[in-house]
Amino acid sequence: MFFRISYNGDVMFSFFLDLSPVIQALIATIFTWAVTMLGASIVFFFREVKKSIMDALLGFSAGVMIAASFWSLLSPAIELADSMNMISWLVVFLGFFSGGLLLFLGDKLYDFIQRKNDKIKISEKVKRSFMLVFSITLHNFPEGLVIGVAFGSLAYSIEGSTLASALTLALGIGLQNFPEGSAVSLPLRRDGFSRKKAFFFGQLSGVVEPIAAVIGAILVLKIQSLLPFLLSFAAGAMIYVVVEELIPESQSNKKKDLMALFTLIGFSIMMILDVGLG
């Protein structure tokens, strides 16, 4: 019997409840990865990539990433740091600035390589695509850790840790992964990648979540002390990409005001999801 129905009509998946926290975290993040794949698959529904559609989606994704950087990353990082008696503002600052600084240095490294070796040709499109994939992957890794910690903490009876809260967290992260998948695959398609390759790299950005979740669940007591920094680090990387790439690209459209509206819509939707499901 894979599930039982209680007298009040609730469906309880007994097989899931009986699994170890590590396997529960793995299953939960396979779901979040699947949502990333679903978002990345949007490239198959466009015969040609129109600039207005792309700019609108980039603007929308920028809004999503700005909201997620605070409600999904920075705010939890501050709360975790406070609960661990850390100097929260210092930990969050170091993580946030380090995340943005890493991508800044990576950008400069590309420019340096281009200047020093004419044989190595790295186009602006390739650089932009790599930065986007890298930043989303950085964002997904600590999210996977958070889910792993949420499920791993169930085994240790940590105050406030419940299966419902862990499942809700996985659901919230999964929902935001849909626009993140499209935020990777669609720009790659615009930059000349085939639909299959754009989809592959789009979903690949989410594959780190199951890996990170397993690590987080196994090492929950040790890895928890690193989470404030890792969450802030991912937020800094995201904001750098939003400011450096997504918003400038979306604002290159003739209808700048409309693109700005899509950014507001993306931010609002992500805010509602994070606050409502958080």
| Burial per residue of 126-136, b for 16 or more beta-carbon CB atoms within 10 angstroms, e otherwise | ebbbebbbbbb
Query: What does the pLDDT look like over 136-191, one tens digit per residue?
Result: 777 688 778 778 877 876 775 544 456 776 777 787 778 768 877 887 887 788 77
pLDDT value for 29: 93
Query: What does the pLDDT look like over 195-242, one tens digit per residue?
Result: 888 899 889 889 999 998 898 788 766 667 777 887 788 788 878 888
Query: What does the pLDDT look like over 25-79, one tens digit per residue?
Result: 999 999 999 999 998 898 888 655 577 877 887 788 788 778 878 887 788 788 8
Angle at 126 between CA 132 and CA 45, to 5 degrees: 65
Domain ranges in the chain are: 49-277
Angle at 135 between CA 32 and CA 113, to 5 degrees: 145
With contact defined as beta carbons under 8 Å apart, do 9 and 193 qualify? no
Distance between CA atoms of residues 27 and 30, nearest Å = 5
Q: Is 206 left (phi over 0), alpha (psi -120 to 50) or beta?
A: alpha
Query: What does the pLDDT look like over 88-100, one tens digit per residue?
Result: 999 999 999 998 8
> Which residues, listed in sequence order, are joined to residue 5 by a DSSP beta bridge?
11
pLDDT band at 10, cuts 50/70/90? very low
Higher pLDDT, 260 or 253: 260
Distance between CA atoms of residues 125 and 103, nearest Å = 16
pLDDT value for 81: 87
Q: What is 155-183 written as a DSSP string?
A: GGT-TT--HHHHHHHHHHHHHHHHHHHHH
Would you say residue 270 has pLDDT above 90? no
pLDDT value for 110: 65
Helix, strand, coil percentages, rounded to 5, for the chain: 80, 0, 15
Both tokens of residue 165?
A: 């809260």
Coil, strand, or helix at residue 251?
coil
Which letter does DSSP use for residue 4 in this model? E
Burial class (CB in 10 A: 0-12, 13-18, 19+), 17: exposed
pLDDT value for 9: 36
